[in-house]
């Protein structure tokens, strides 16, 4: 059982989208006291909105979600996860790769797709 926990905690988990679903998923993983996930990556185009938009009236995305700006700040996700300001454009399931808009790729063991609130098709 300890080997399974250790392998799971070291797994490369990529979460696409910083919607309520994505943030809640990461919050749930990080809330397990007996497990310490060390390799969670969040793909969030624009990063976290509360880092640069402090006024909830101006920040329509944050005020239209279940997490208020104050609640999102208290989670400290950027300290406990790796946040990448990028968009996913392709998935290679055989190689377990997520291809980003800038040409880089991320390896993953588990991929969680939580589409954001707006769809911007290029």
Structure confidence at residue 1 (pLDDT): 39
Kindly list the averaged pLDDT for each block of 10 residues, start to end, along the chain of length 122.
56 88 86 85 76 51 57 74 91 96 94 73 56
Structure confidence at residue 3 (pLDDT): 41
Residue carrying the six token digits 């990080």: 30
- CA 30 remoteness from chain centre: 12
Structure confidence at residue 62 (pLDDT): 45
Residue closest to 48 by CA, chosen among 84, 89, 99, 16? 84
The fold for domain 2-113 equals FAD/NAD(P)-binding domain (3.50.50)
DSSP code, position 66: S
Q: C-alpha distances in angstroms, 90 versus 47, 76, 100? A: 20, 29, 7
User: Whole-angstrom Cα distance, residue 4 to residue 11?
Assistant: 11
Structure confidence at residue 49 (pLDDT): 56
Structure confidence at residue 10 (pLDDT): 80
Tell me the per-residue pLDDT of 45-63, one tens digit each, with 9 for 90 and over: 877 654 445 555 555 444 4
The pTM of the full predicted model, rounded to 2 decimals, is: 0.75
User: Whole-angstrom Cα distance, residue 55 to residue 39?
Assistant: 31
User: Beta-strand (E) ranges in the chain?
Assistant: 13-16, 40-43, 82-84, 88-92, 97-100, 105-107, 110-113
């Amino acid at each position: 059982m300890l080997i399974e926990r250790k392998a799971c905690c070291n797994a490369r988990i990529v979460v696409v989208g910083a919607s309520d679903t994505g943030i809640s998923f990461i919050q749930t993983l990080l809330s397990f006291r007996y497990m310490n996930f060390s390799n969670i990556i969040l793909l969030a185009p624009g990063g976290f909105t509360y880092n640069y938009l402090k006024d909830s009236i101006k920040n329509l995305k944050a005020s239209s979600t279940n997490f208020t700006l104050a609640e999102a700040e208290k989670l400290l996700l950027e300290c406990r996860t790796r946040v990448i300001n990028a968009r996913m454009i392709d998935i290679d399931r055989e190689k377990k790769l997520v291809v980003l808009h800038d040409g880089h790729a991320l390896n993953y063991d588990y991929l969680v797709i939580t589409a954001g609130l707006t769809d911007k098709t290029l």
